[in-house]
Amino acid sequence: MSEQHARVALVSGATSGIGLSVARLLARQGHRVFIGARSGDNVATTVKELRGEDLDVDGTTLDVRSADDVRTFVQAAVDRFGTVDVLVNNAGRSGGGVTADIGYELWQDVIDTNLHSVFRMSHEVLNTGGMRHKDRGRIINIASTAGKQGVVLGAPYSASKHGVVGFTKALGNELAPTGITVNAVCPGYVETPMAQRVRQGYAAAYGTTEDAIMEKFSAKIPLGRYSTPDEVAGLVGYLASDVAASITAQALNVCGGLGNF
Ligand SMILES: NC(=O)c1ccc[n+]([C@@H]2O[C@H](COP(=O)([O-])OP(=O)(O)OC[C@H]3O[C@@H](n4cnc5c(N)ncnc54)[C@H](OP(=O)(O)O)[C@@H]3O)[C@@H](O)[C@H]2O)c1
């Protein structure tokens, strides 16, 4: 793919875990990749790391909870690389606890970070990013198997991810005639810094060790282990490709068999 025709991909939360693997894979596929996360230092370090691998990557700070940030981020990407062909809504947070004990602030922040952000980013990319005027586009939302099944002590997280799956199906159907596909990728347990924080939370809630939680979770996965960020990125890369043109409005698991639908 010549530089002139290289497709432009945006990845939120690309400084860690799944987002970092996705940014790297899309760039290796020939996309020009624009990344964002809240920590400007981490964005700069990640851009440097990926450029060191000869990849065409840039980025800036982004808090997906802020409409102003989202507008500035998408405009910066267009100014730098051109209109947007691929959007990966990956930024997200864990969050939960005993539902009767959690405060409204936690509820609101989880829903804002994981769900409202997906609307904000998609809306901005369709307009400022120019995607709605193209005859080919890809919106890929990183949801979760928790977007299909209820997770104990994870009501805000599960609710936010179910919302992402619903939004994906509705927008996918709406945009299907345009050549823009919209899909959700639903990881199960994936070894990332977030997964470590989640294990810490359950260890505290159940009064046990993180190792015991790791064993308990791994035993629930038919494959017998966590998925890797690269395994999740692999499906994102496929959905971004031309041969995935007829896959839309789907929520596809990468979970070692943890979820069956
Ligand atoms: N790991 C799992 O087991 C698992 C399973 C299912 C689904 N997922 C989903 O996969 C996605 C990525 O998870 P991960 O495990 O890779 O997490 P991670 O390692 O914690 O990375 C999260 C990334 O998102 C960024 N981020 C967090 N809040 C943000 C905000 N408000 N605005 C912009 N960027 C933000 C972080 O950077 P800053 O902190 O600097 O902003 C970081 O780059 C999430 O949507 C998560 O729900 C993960």
Domains of the chain (ranges, CATH numbers) = 3-188+228-253 (3.40.50.720), 190-226 (no CATH)
- How large is the average pLDDT for residues 104-127? 98
Q: Is the pLDDT of residue 3 over 80?
A: no
Task: Compute, in angstroms, the gap from residue 171 CA to the centroid of ligand 1.
Answer: 23
End-to-end, the C-alpha distance of the chain in Å comes to 36
Residue bearing tokens 């760039």: 27
Q: Which atom of ligand 1 is the closest one to the Cα of 37?
A: 34
Q: 3-state DSSP call for residue 113? A: helix
Q: pLDDT tens digit string along 204-253?
A: 999 999 999 999 999 999 999 999 999 999 999 999 999 999 999 999 99
Give the SS3 label for residue 161: helix
Q: Is the CB of 184 under 6 A from ligand 1?
A: no
For ligand 1, mutation pick of 192, 198, 230, 235 (most atoms within 8 Å of CB): 192
3-state secondary structure of 261: coil
CA distance 25 to 20: 9
pLDDT at 5 (0 to 100): 75
- Ligand 1 mean position, distance from CA 210 (Å): 20
